[in-house]
Amino acid sequence: MEKGINSGLKSLIVLLGVFIILTLSVPVTAADVVASQSILFNNGTDPNIPQYRLTVAKTGTGNGTVTNWPAGIDCGPDCSDWYDYGTEVTLTAISDEGSYFEGWSGGDCQDTVGCTLVISGHTNLTANFQSKNFFDRWDWHWRNPLPQGNSLFGITYGDGAFVAVGDRGAIITSSDGITWTAGSSGTSNGLRGITYGKGTFVAVGDRGATLTSADGITWTARASGTLNWLYGITYGNGTFVAVGEGGAILTSVDSMTWSVRSSGTSTWLTGITYGNGTFVAVGDEGAIV
């Protein structure tokens, strides 16, 4: 009887072994794994290390590719791969010509071109590429890297170019508002305001500084007739008008020869515009002239 029991146990063990082998050898497709979010196990030296899927999607109006190290993703055509638990993966976003990389969403990536993460589970990331020609008037974007580090105080647009001015004579130009080039103003005075009119850019600033340029790149210093700081300038009805310290107001019809006018106030004037046939200036303590 004992012999029969032992034989039965041996048969049961063999059957269980066969059952286990058959169970483990059932084929599992990639589609099955993705659908169930299963965990794969490494077939290398340590079969107990789980693998997780890293998937990258692309969005936006622009184009680009995402590559990574260790190799596996070239998105492009291949936007996902499996990695061992604990693997450090570095993703790099590369924008195509006419596009720029705006940032990542998902995972722990920040808005930088490169992203390094450690695989600890299934991870989904989205790379956002935008067209340089696409702008939503309510959708503002931080432009980086900066072309220079000085504070900027004024900006205008004319003849296909954006021109901004700032501290220590800083002048930068751009044709698209995205890529900026630092230029030379020829002065170390701070520049506080800029406008465009009659085919000319005119910038004003500290100690009565007044500069003109036909293209925003090459600048010529002009005599303003004042040493007061000038904070704002506009163009309208064929005339340039600048305002500044102590109620200063200057006018010019050609941007080269300037006349000092009386504003009727000693309050500093910091801004000016033109519309509906009227120049309007504003300044400290609620001043409006």
Domain ranges for the chain: 30-131, 152-286
Q: Which amino acid is at 52?
A: Y
Q: Tens digit of pLDDT for each residue in 61-105? A: 888 999 888 877 778 766 888 989 999 998 888 888 888 888 888
| Residue position matching structure tokens 């009659």 | 198
Q: pTM for the whole thing?
A: 0.55
pLDDT in the model for residue 219: 97
Give the CATH number of domain 152-286; options: 2.40.50.460, 3.40.50.150, 2.40.50.140, 2.120.10.80: 2.120.10.80
Pick the CATH number of 30-131 from 1.20.120, 1.10.3470, 2.50.20, 2.60.40: 2.60.40
Instruction: Give the torsion through C-alpha atoms of 169, 172, 173, 174, to 10 deg.
Output: -160
Write out pLDDT tens, residues 195-205. 999 999 999 99
**pLDDT of 161:** 95
DSSP bridge partners of 230: 244
Contacts of residue 31, defined as CB under 8 A and 6 or more positions apart, other chains included, come to none
* Contact of 69 with 83, CB cutoff 8 Å: no
* Most confident by average pLDDT, 8-22, 35-49, 69-83: 69-83
pLDDT over 70, % of the chain: 77
Confidence of residue 45 (pLDDT cuts 50, 70, 90): very low
Q: Outline where DSSP puts E strands in 87-168.
A: 88-95, 99-105, 114-118, 123-131, 152-158, 161-166
Cα separation, 204 vs 187, whole angstroms: 11
* 22 contact partners, CB below 8 Å, separation of at least 6: none
Calpha distance 231→192 (Å, rounded) = 5
**Mean pLDDT across the chain, nearest whole number?**
82
How many C-beta neighbours within 10 Å does residue 132 have?
16
Q: What is the mean pLDDT of residues 148-159?
A: 92
80 closest CA partner among 103, 108, 51: 51
